[in-house]
Chains A and B, each alone.
Chain A
Amino acid sequence: MSPPKVSSRGRPAGTASVCRDITLSSRVRLARNLHGIPFPDRATSAVRAEVRKQGMDAARTELPLQEALADSTPLFRQQLFEDHLISRNLLEGHPESGVCMNAEHTRAVMINEEDHLRIQVLRTGFQIREAWEAVDQLDSILEKKLEYAFSPELGYLTACPTNVGTAIRVSAMLHLPGLVLAEQVNQIIQAVNKLGLAVRGFYGEGTEALGNVFQVSNQMTLGETENDIVERLTKVLAQLIEHEKNARAMLLEKQPKMVYNHIGRAYGILANAHSISSKETMNLLSLMRLGMDLELFPGVEHSLVNELFIITQPGHLQKQISEKLSAEERDLLRADMLRDRLQQVSRPRVPTPGAGGAPLDKPSPA
C-alpha cells in the first residue's frame, strides 16, 4: 500500500474522516427502586436477597445470563467491571448484589447497587439515541413485573436525591488525544461543566482519563424529559467532536513533528516492550489509535486497538491464562501479548518532507 497522500498543507488527505472514531461508546442507564422496600443500603440482607430474586425473575427472558456476585470469582467480577457492565460500587458492595446480562454484554441490570436496579444499555460509537430507545424498552419490560417507587412530582425515587425524576444517566466515551496534546482539554471540560454536563475519567466518577478517554454525561435528572436530556447531550457531543477534529488539524499544521514523535514512540514501546503496566499501555494505545485516525497505519483496523485496549487490562489478561497473577507477572504477559499482536503492524508511515509533508514544527509565539 502506498503512503498516505499529503495535501499541500502537510496534512494527510483523509483528515475529513478522522472524526469517525472519536466516540468510542454510548451508554444510557436508568435507576429504579421497588415500591415500599427500603433502598439497598437500608435494607436487611434478607430483603436484598428477595429484591435480587424479583429483579432476576423479571429480567430472565431478556437477560438470561445472571450472576449473584458473591458466587462468582473475583476475576470474573473484575472483567465485568473492565467491560463497564458493573460499577465499582457493585463490585465492592452488598453480598446480595447481582447482575443480569444478555449474551452480547450490551444490556445489563445491576441489582442492589445504590438503587435496587440500575438498568443499562451499551452501544459502540455515537449511538446515544439508540441506547436510550433500547433501555426504555428494557425498562418497560421489567416494569410489567415490578412495581417501581414513583412520585408524580419527583418521578422515579432514588437513594440519592441527585438522581430523582427521570433517574437517567446518558453518557458517551470520547477519545480526545488532540485536545489533550493541544493542552485545551481542561478549558473544554470547564465549558462542558457549565452546560450542565459532567466530564469524568475512563471508569466513571473519581477516575482519571486513562488513554485520553473521557466520559461525558448529564448531571441533572429532574425537570426535563429523557428526550430533552438525550438531545442536549447529543448536541454537546457533536461540538466536542468538532473541537477534537480542529485540535488535531491544528496540531498537524503547527506541530506535526510533536504529533508524529508521540505516535512513533508509542508504537515503538508497545511493539517492543518486555514489561509494561496497564496504565502505560492505555495511554500509548491511545496515541496509536490517533495514528490510525490520521492514517499513519494503513491497512490496520481500529478493531485491533479496541481489542488491545480491553484484553490488556488486568482482569481480561488473567482470563486468557485462567489464573491470578502478580502485577509484575501481568506486566510481562501484557508486553508479550502486545509484541505478538503488533508483529504484523508496520511502523507508522509519516508523510516525508520531500512530498511537502511533515515539515518542522512552527516556532510557537513567545
Chain B
Amino acid sequence: LCEACAAQKGIDVHAEPMDLSGMMESMKAQLAQLKESPPPRSSGPTACPGCGLTRTEILKKGRLGCDRCYEVFAAEMLPVVVSVQHGDQHLGKVPRRASERIKTSVELARLRRELDQAVAGENDESAARLRDQIRLLSGAGGAR
C-alpha cells in the first residue's frame, strides 16, 4: 500500500504525508507556541462571553468551551484548525433548519471545489456546467 499504488487506485494521497496519530500532539504544540506569543493586536476579549473560558485555558487544553468560542477566539483557533484538517471550508451536511443563506454558501463552496477539480482534470464539459450552476446559485442566494 505505497503512495504510488494508492494514487493509482484512486485513493487521494495528501501531498504532505503526516503521522495522524500525532495530530493532537501537533495541534497542542502549536497551541503551546501561541501561548508564548502575545495576544493578537486586536486584543479582543480574553474570556468567551458564552462560557467564560479564557484564552489561556483553551491554549492549555486544546478544547473549546462552547460554539461561541470559535468566533471569539477565531484569530488564534482558525490557523490551528486548518493546519490539522483537509481544508478550511465545511463541505458536508448542513442542518435542515439552517437558513437558506447558510445552505447556499456551503453548496457554493462544494460546487467551487468540484469546479477546481474539473479544471485540474481538464474536464471542460463539467467545468462549464459547474460554472453555470455557481452563477445561478450566487445570483439566487446572493451569498458571497
Contacts and interface: CB of A to CB of B under 8 A. Distances in A.
A160 B62 contact: yes
Contacts of B39: none
Contacts of B105: 152
Nearest to A190: B19
B68 to A, nearest CB: 8
A222 B88 contact: yes
Nearest to B84: A162
Interface residues of B, number: 55
A191 B19 CA distance: 10
B121 interface: no
A186 B114 CA distance: 35
Interface in B48-86: 50-53, 62-68, 70, 77, 80-82, 84-86
B29 interface: no
A149 B85 CA distance: 19
Contacts of B5: 239
Contacts of A223: 85-91
Contacts of A192: 1
A194 B110 contact: no
Nearest to B101: A152
Interface stretch (A9-17, A140-148, A264-272, A287-295): A140-148
A164 B27 CA distance: 14
B27 A161 contact: yes
Contact of A224 (B11, B19, B50, B87): B87
A197 B1 CA distance: 13
Contact of B92 (A38, A144, A166): A166
Given A195-B6, A226-B92, 9 more contacts: A41-B63, A42-B53, A43-B51, A143-B95, A147-B97, A156-B90, A161-B64, A162-B27, A239-B9
